Amino acid sequence: MLRRKDRDQVEVEVYDVVNYRLQRSLTVPNARRPHGVTSCKHYRCVYISDPVVECIHRLDVQGAVTRWAVHDRPAGLSVNAAHNVLVTCDVVRKIEEFSSHGDLLRELTLPDDVINPWHAIQTCNDEFIVCHGRFSDAVHRVCKISVNGRDIVQSHGGQRGSGTGQYDVPVSLAVDKNGFVLVVDQNNRRVKLLSPTLDYVHQVVSCDKLEGQPGRLCLDTRRRCLYVADNEKKGARKWISGRLVVFRF
């Protein structure tokens, strides 16, 4: 779990998954504004995106920290089946794929109507699930994007709203082993489940289960647990408190 300590320092807190006790804290220096976070079992490390510095911080299990430049503003992160890091860059509408140590492997430019993408995950057949839409944008959706990144194969959502088929800032994703998609609908304060073809299934987490706004989520398929970051906001931009909520899935 990420916890910002001061203006230029972030701590990664490691908890036991059985009793949720804090095991240790690892410091990430020179981190200005952490945004996305993901982990890699293969390389035993954590990646953190930093849109202010325009870089990715890499933290290994021994606590060693390195970083590499993205040269675009990074948002959400994920790790694909090849153990590479997928960086979603919202302003330029790109998915950039890096090796574990920061070598740029490829760039994919998303379709013109995918505005302000937050997060992307590569599926088992090499397509991409992407969520996009900031508060001021007309369209808020979850899309399945073709392997080459050029075409929208399927989508769910449209005009911003609170209906079953609508979103108000869909900010984070998870995909299970069967291809079902979990979506954090931030301003509607809920998590939705979509089928592999992006049809609505049901609401997994409702607003009455949360104290603030959901931000990120992590799915542990082995233990059938869904971890949701539940953060309280003051004003338009300042996050003042947060907690991690665990749901059986």
Domains contained in the chain, CATH given: 2-248 (2.120.10.30)
Structure confidence at residue 126 (pLDDT): 96
Cβ contact 141:133 at 8 Å: yes
Rounded distance, CA 217 to CA 189, Å?
A: 13
Q: How far apart are CA 27 and CA 185, in angstroms?
A: 30
- Within the chain, what is the greatest distance between any pair of CA atoms? 46
User: What is the pLDDT, as a whole number, of residue 9?
Assistant: 81
pLDDT at 198: 98
Q: Which amino acid is at 163?
A: G
Residue 237 confidence (pLDDT): 60
Per-residue pLDDT of the chain (249 residues; tens, 9 = 90+): 888 777 778 889 999 988 999 999 999 998 988 899 999 999 999 999 999 999 999 999 999 999 999 999 999 999 999 999 999 999 999 999 999 999 999 999 999 999 999 999 999 999 999 999 999 999 999 999 999 999 999 999 999 999 999 999 999 999 999 999 999 999 999 999 999 999 999 999 999 999 999 999 999 988 889 999 998 876 656 666 788 999 987
pLDDT score of 238: 64
pTM of the model: 0.94
For residues 178 and 196, is the Cβ–Cβ distance under 8 A?
yes
d(CA 134, CA 137): 5
